[in-house]
Amino acid sequence: MDEQAGWRAVTQPSHSPAPQFTNRLAREKSPYLLQHAHNPVHWYPWGEEAFARARNEGKPIFLSIGYSTCHWCHVMERESFEHENVGRFLNEHFISIKVDREERPDVDKIYMTFVQATTGSGGWPMSVFLTPELKPFFGGTYFPPEPRQGRPGFPQLLERIAELWRDRRGDLELGAEQTHAQLAQMMNARGGEAVGGGSASGIPPRALVESWLKAAGESFKEVYDPQHGGFGRAPKFPQPSQPQFLLRYARRFHDEAALKMVLHMCERMAAGGIHDQLGGGFARYSVDAEWLVPHFEKMLYDNAQLVQLYLDAHLVASGRMDGATDSARAEHLNAPALQPSTSPFATIVRSTLDYVLRDMTHPDGGFYSAEDADSEGHEGKFYCWTWAELSSRLTVEEFNVVVRHYGITPAGNFVDHSHPQPLLGLNVLSVAGLAANQADAALLDSARAKMLAVRAQRVRPHLDDKVLASWNGLMLGAFARAYAVLGDEKYRGAAERNLKFIQADLWENGTLYNRWRDGERDTVQLLDAYAFLLGGVVELYEATLVPETLAFAIALAEAMIKRFYDASQGGFWQSDAGATDLILRIKDDYDGAEPAGNSVATLALLKLAAMAARKDFHEVAQRTLLAGHQKLSRAPHAVSYLLQALDYWADEPARVVVAGDLGNALFQDLLHAAHSVYQPNKVVLGDAGPVDDLARSLSVRDGAAVYLCAGQTCQPPTTDSAEVRKRLFLMS
C-alpha cells in the first residue's frame, strides 16, 4: 500500500531495518492499533472498509479488542499475532479487525456484553467472531497458542470456526440473529416505567428512596473485608465510587462503622503495593486480597477517582471526634492544627496529582491515558526491587530500614508467570512497618531518594499518550477539587490549562470529540466524553466561581442532552443517532472501574440545576434516575455512582453562595472554607454569571461574604471562614 510505504519511510530511523510486515493500522493514531501495525495479520481498523470486504467476500470477521497498556493483550500478540502461520490463516479465512476499547467504548460494550452473557466472564484482550453484518456468534477473551487450562489453542479455535463457517454458515448466521435480538432485549429493557409505590408522576416517596439507600449501604458493609479493606475477595479493585457512596451512607444514617470501613480501606490501599510507594499514583488493581501485588498498569481514570476518594477521606478524618457532640466537633474543625491540609490522606492526594503532573501531562495541558504494566517485556520490572540490588545501592543503615519498612525479602513477593523466562526475587514495595524514630525516618528519606534516582535510569513502561475527553474530565475535576480543598495553586493551574486544551482541540461549535493525539482528533461522539467533562467543569466552577466556566458547563450540558438524551424513556444513549457502525444503540448503566455516563451526567445535572435554576436539567436528571430504579433497588453494587446521585437528589441541596470580588483575598479564604467540610449534598456558587436569581441578589458591595441557603431562605451572611466551616458542619 502506498500510504503504508510512505508511513514507513517517514517514521523508521535510517539505521533501522524496515519492518517485514505493515498493515492498515499504520495509518491510525491509537497507540494500541499502532502496536499491531507490523503484525503479519492484515488488520483493519473498525470501519466500513473492513465491513464491505467481509460482505463482498462472504467471510466472518475476527474482532480483537484491547488497549495499549493491557498486559494479556501483549501476551496474545507475542504468542499468536506476531506469528506468520497464524497471520496467514487469519488472512485467508477471516477479515480481522482491531479496536482500541478506550477510543470506542461503545463498540466494546456491545461485544463485551455478548462475551459475558455467553461465557460468564469477560476481559481483554477480547476475541469475538462476527457475521459480515457485525452480529456475534462466538467469543471469549485471551486464547493461548496451545490448549491450556480448559481453553482451546488459538490456531485450533481458528480452524474450528473456519470449518463451521464453511459447512454450517446458515446455522451460525441464524444463531447470530437470535443472539442479536436477545442482546437488544436485554440491553434496552430498562427505563421508562413508573416506580412501584410512587406517586402518579412516577416519583418515589422519600421513605422508599431512603430504604434503597439504606439497603445499598448495608449490602456494601456485608461484603467489606475487615482485615485488608475493600470489598470482596481477590482480585481486588478499588472502584472508588463504592467507598464514596458508603461515606455518603455513613453521613445520612450516622453510621460510624461504615465511615471507619472507608478510612480503613484508604489506609490499607495507601500502604499496599497497589500504591506506587516511590513515585505516587495507583496501579489498576491488586491480584490478591491484601492490596500487595498489583497489576502494574496505571490508568488515568483510576487515579482521578482515587484522588476524589482520598479528598473525601481527608475531610471526613479532619472532622472526626469519636463520641463528641456535634457542637464540640464543629468547634474542633476550627482548631489551628486543622487549618493546614496535611493529613495522611491529603499526602496521598498530593503524591498522586504530582505523579500525573510529572509523568502523565502533555506540555499543552492534556492528560495522557495510561502507563503500561510491562517494561522490557516483563510485568512490574520498572517498579520492583531485588534484595541484592538494594543492598548494593544503599548504605547498610539505609538498607536495614528499607527492608523493615517495605518488607523486602531475598525470595521476593512477585513473579510474572506469563513470561517464558520470569524474573525471580522481585519485591513489590509495600509499607510493612513504620519508622521507629526520627533517625530511621531520615534514613528512609535518603534511601528513597537513591531508589528514585536508580528507578529513573530504568526503561520506563510504555506511555499511552492519547488524550481522551472523558478521562480528562475526571482528572480535571480531581485537580479542581484538590485546589478547592488543599489550596495549592498549581492544581488550579493544571485544571484550567486542561480545560483550555480541551476547548481548543476537542470542542468545536457545540460538539465535543473524544480523542486527541499527535495533533489530530477523532470524529466519534460518546456520552462519556460529554458527561465526564461536564462533571469536571462543574467541579472547576465550584472551585473557582469563574462565571465563564459555569457558562461553558451549561453549554456542554445542553449539547449532551440534545445529542444523547432519550426524551421518551429517560436516560442517555451511549452513542449518538448518527453512529451507523453499531448493531445496537444502548444505555450504559454499570458503574464499574469507570462510572457510567448516565450516572455522572445525572449528578452533574442535579448540581447544575441547583446553581443555575434550570428546572429542565433537574427533570432530565430525575428521569434518568427513575429509569435506573430497578438496579438502584435490586443491584446496588452495579450502580454505586448512581447511588451517589440518588443520595444527592433525595434532599434539597445546601447552596453556599460566596458573594463578592473573585480577586479579593477574603473571597478566596471564604471559598476554601466552603470546601473544607465533608458535605457532599451541597453546591458552591458565586453571585455573578448565569447563576439563579437568589444568588445574584446576594451581591456584596465591598469585600466578600458567604450566605448558606436552603431553598429560597438564607442564613445571615458571614465573613468569618471559621463560622462557614461550623455552619456547614452543623448542616451535614
The pLDDT, as a whole number, for residue 149 is 85
Compute the half-sphere exposure of residue 444: CA atoms within 13 Å on the CB side of its CA. 18
Is residue 324's pLDDT more than 70?
no
Nearest to 245 by CA among 304, 319, 155, 308: 308
What are the residues whose beta carbons fall under 8 Å from the beta carbon of 281, sequence distance 6 or more?
Answer: 275, 298, 303, 351, 352, 355, 356, 359
pLDDT attached to residue 19: 85
Paired sense of beta strands 285-286 and 294-295, if any: antiparallel
pLDDT recorded at residue 332: 52
More confident residue, 418 or 620: 620
Q: What is the pLDDT of residue 150?
A: 83
The pLDDT score that the predictor gives to residue 690 is 97
What is the identity of the amino acid at 58?
G
Look at residue 189 in the predicted model and tell me its pLDDT: 54
pLDDT at 646: 97
**190 contacts 181 by C-beta, under 8 angstroms:** no
Residue 573 predicted with pLDDT over 60: yes
- Is the CB of residue 678 less than 8 Å from the CB of residue 251? yes
Instruction: Give tens-digit pLDDT for 690-705.
Output: 999 999 999 888 899 9
Distance spanning both ends of the chain, measured CA to CA: 65
| Average of per-residue pLDDT values in the chain | 92
User: Is the entire prediction scored with pTM above 0.85?
Assistant: yes
Q: How far apart, in whole angstroms, are the C-alpha atoms of residue 270 and residue 278?
A: 12
Instruction: List, as one string, the DSSP characters of 443-459.
Output: HHHHHHHHHHHHHHTSP
pLDDT-based confidence at 222, cuts 50/70/90? very high
- The reported pLDDT for the residue numbered 488 is 96
Quick check: 6 pLDDT over 70?
no
The 10s digit of each residue's pLDDT in 173-191 is: 999 999 999 998 887 654 4
- pLDDT above 80: residue 436: no
Q: What is the DSSP letter of 148?
A: B
Q: What is the mean predicted confidence (pLDDT) over 573-595?
A: 93
Residue 489, C-beta contacts closer than 8 angstroms, at least 6 positions apart: 483
Residue 326: pLDDT band (50, 70, 90) is low
Minimal CA–CA distance to 649: which of 714, 706, 601, 685? Answer: 601
CATH of domain 2-187: 3.40.30.10
What percent of the chain is modeled with pLDDT above 70? Answer: 92
pLDDT value of position 549: 98
Mean pLDDT of 11-15: 41
- pLDDT of 138 reads 97
What's the rounded mean pLDDT across residues 620-649?
A: 95
Express each pLDDT in 531-572 by its tens digit: 999 999 999 999 999 999 999 999 999 999 999 999 999 999
Residue 260 has pLDDT above 60, yes or no: yes
Domain boundaries, the chain: 2-187, 224-359, 374-460, 657-731
Checking if the pLDDT of 479 tops 90, the result is yes
**pLDDT 10s digits, 409-427:** 999 999 988 888 999 999 9
Beta bridge partners of 427: 385
Phi-psi region of 695 (alpha: psi -120 to 50; beta: other; left: phi over 0): alpha
